[in-house]
Structure 1
């Protein structure tokens, strides 16, 4: 079906970046909510965890809805951290097996917050920190927000002082772009991502099993029973992980494949055919036959973690007031592979002094 771009900038509100108070943490630290408007898209971001709380885009009838799962208050985000709704993930996205980091001639112990593994940067990863936030320079017609913080040496067990900058931009075309940068004063590992759960029919509208998904990946990394990679890279052909041609997310969700049983659904890293690239390239597309909304994902990263919200439960209620269930959203986490420090044949995540970590991902919204 033909795609129609979002309304031109002269038909929508002028670009803007605004901030408002959004509560406080238990220790009194204030949290802000920033609103970015450009190109017919409105995005709300919290200084707590770099969380994308909402992304509002139109459907084929020009009706706007928030298409990412989230919570209504900062207290709820603090009380319910495990789904990582919309969060900026670091210092290391996904799992490091055995909660141990081999680096050089040392092994650094990390928090075991996911069975035996360290998940998403540990017990208090980047998703549970308050970031310095400020409006950032942007191209004509765009709106941008800069989030920054310094992660001290030894935070959550990771070596090296890491200076991190994350720029969220809503472009003149209505896309949402994430640009990550980092430098270190000692060898460390870095892999940053965003953990938004997408539902193109609107937050709180139910299952995404009918969403159609395509991923440009001929291989995937095989998981152990603890969901950390074994190191094996397998072909997608003949498996439920073959999304090279678009098909419904739920087409083989209940196939009984051993890898799906481990995660109670999709929780798998796809080895993108393009590998690491200097500029974001298209790697995935998801669309909803019901609303007509479509999302194309472009990234510089070599991997994409597909997670179908398998452990989201009805105790979570979104801003719509509706309870969430497993499968009510899907995360497309652009990343380097999980547990790369233990598998030298995976693309390296090591960052050394004098080097500059850069990563970029773009979410392009269209209607069909």
Structure 2
């Protein structure tokens, strides 16, 4: 029998070229057919009486056959769905990238108090609370537009700060034998998470409920190496208005792949007389803390515990904020060690603030070990809501938290959270009339 011999076709690519992407199939390359035509080769017949049928394929017919095969293969490849559009093997897997969240304001109204929340920094931008005459007044410092929150000119008004609130000495800590260097945004230290902490990012709104108990749930995904912190962390914050005149905040954070320090704080500046009423020095304050963690010249705790009794830091009973503030250089900006006291729904009583003019009262409850009392010492001529100008001591902060620089102080409660663990921090801001 005669056999047909031909040169084998090979696919060739230019030197150094890359293989075509599977998402964009390339057309097969047809090589030129060699000029020596198919030759007949004679072989001995196995049987003398057997007539052999010789089939000769002419070159034009072979080219037509090859072209048909090529067209059929091209149609099959090009008609297949693109790889990016094929259904995932896991039907629950999200394969379409979501657009980044848009910044905005979100109102929570339970008929008694009205909160306005922004997903920029998970920020309380406004909180309307009735006074002794039932007149609503805005009791938090803030801005009418989102611009100051977005461009970083807000002095932490109303936001959630993290990954670690307060200060970390020299912006360094060692964890599991590895030293980590953070952004130094408050030389020589790191403050409230660095240059772009949780207060300056846009959180995703995952739930917004305007019902009888209005609430909003916000989420943020903090990536490994963000501002120098190790590991990926998923963070959730949920604000809700209870049936009473109370705002509740529930914060959670889960490290996904590495141990990392986590200590979140809510940084609202309170003025119970109204955000535009001047300073808070006439407010009275009680803090359930019999010790503070004294600080050095850069506001880093020394690691010691100092009793407040007999000092201007003693707010175990109600005292006017301005009564002894001149005895504290620069004003109050100190961490109080919270005592075990009255407990409500698993939260301990932290502080009580009273404004003598409006008779508004704020009681704060939390499950954190400490609270930073800050009297707005660095607020100076900030143009706020409705054209109000906020000056020094225009608001006070009571930030429940882990202790400052705890990641470098082994005698402080640890703020390190490991994969498989969950950081939980809850606060309740309960308003009433005296």
- The TM-score with structure 1 as length reference comes to 0.87
Task: Tell me whether 1:329 sits opposite 2:395 in the alignment.
Answer: yes
Aligned match for 1:158, one of 225, 229, 252: 229
Aligned length: 332
Task: Tell me whether 1:297 sits opposite 2:369 in the alignment.
Answer: no
Higher RCO, 1 vs 2 (CA within 8 Å, ≥6 residues apart):
1
Aligned match for 1:182, one of 239, 253, 256: 253
**1:226-279 deviations in whole A, cap 9, x for unaligned?**
011111110001111100000101110012xxxx32xx100000000129x992
Aligned match for 1:63, one of 135, 159, 162: 135
Aligned match for 1:274, one of 340, 350, 368: 340
Check conservation: 2:294, 2:305, Cα contact below 8 A.
yes
CA drift at 1:80 = 4.8
Matching residue of 2:205:
133
Equivalent residues in 2 for 1:17-96, closer than 5 Å: 30-81=102-153, 83-96=155-168
C-alpha distance in 2 between matches for 1:32 and 1:80? 16
Secondary structure at the aligned position of 1:35 is classed as: strand
C-alpha distance in 2 between matches for 1:350 and 1:74? 33
C-alpha distance in 2 between matches for 1:82 and 1:33? 16
CA drift at 1:86 = 0.4
**1:191-249 deviations in whole A, cap 9, x for unaligned?**
01110000000011101000000001100000110011111110001111100000101
Matching residue of 1:199:
271
Secondary structure at the aligned position of 1:313 is classed as: coil
Aligned alpha-carbon RMSD (Å): 1.7
CA drift at 1:73 = 1.2
Check conservation: 2:122, 2:159, Cα contact below 8 A.
yes
CA drift at 1:97 = 0.5
- The TM-score with structure 2 as length reference comes to 0.74
Check conservation: 1:36, 1:44, Cα contact below 8 A.
yes
C-alpha distance in 2 between matches for 1:136 and 1:63? 27
Q: Which runs of 5+ in 1 are unaligned?
A: 1-27
CA drift at 1:68 = 0.3
Task: Tell me whether 1:357 sits opposite 2:429 in the alignment.
Answer: no
Q: Which runs of 5+ in 2 are unaligned?
A: 1-99
Check conservation: 1:39, 1:174, Cα contact below 8 A.
no
Matching residue of 1:24:
none
Check conservation: 2:172, 2:180, Cα contact below 8 A.
yes
Taking structure 1 as reference, are residues 131 and 80 closer, same or farther at Cα in structure 2, changes over 3 Å only? closer
CA drift at 1:135 = 3.0
CA drift at 1:141 = 3.4
> Which has more strand, going by share of residues?
1
**1:123-162 deviations in whole A, cap 9, x for unaligned?**
1000000000133569x83111100011011101000100
Aligned match for 1:254, one of 318, 322, 326: 326
Matching residue of 1:17:
none
Secondary structure at the aligned position of 1:237 is classed as: coil
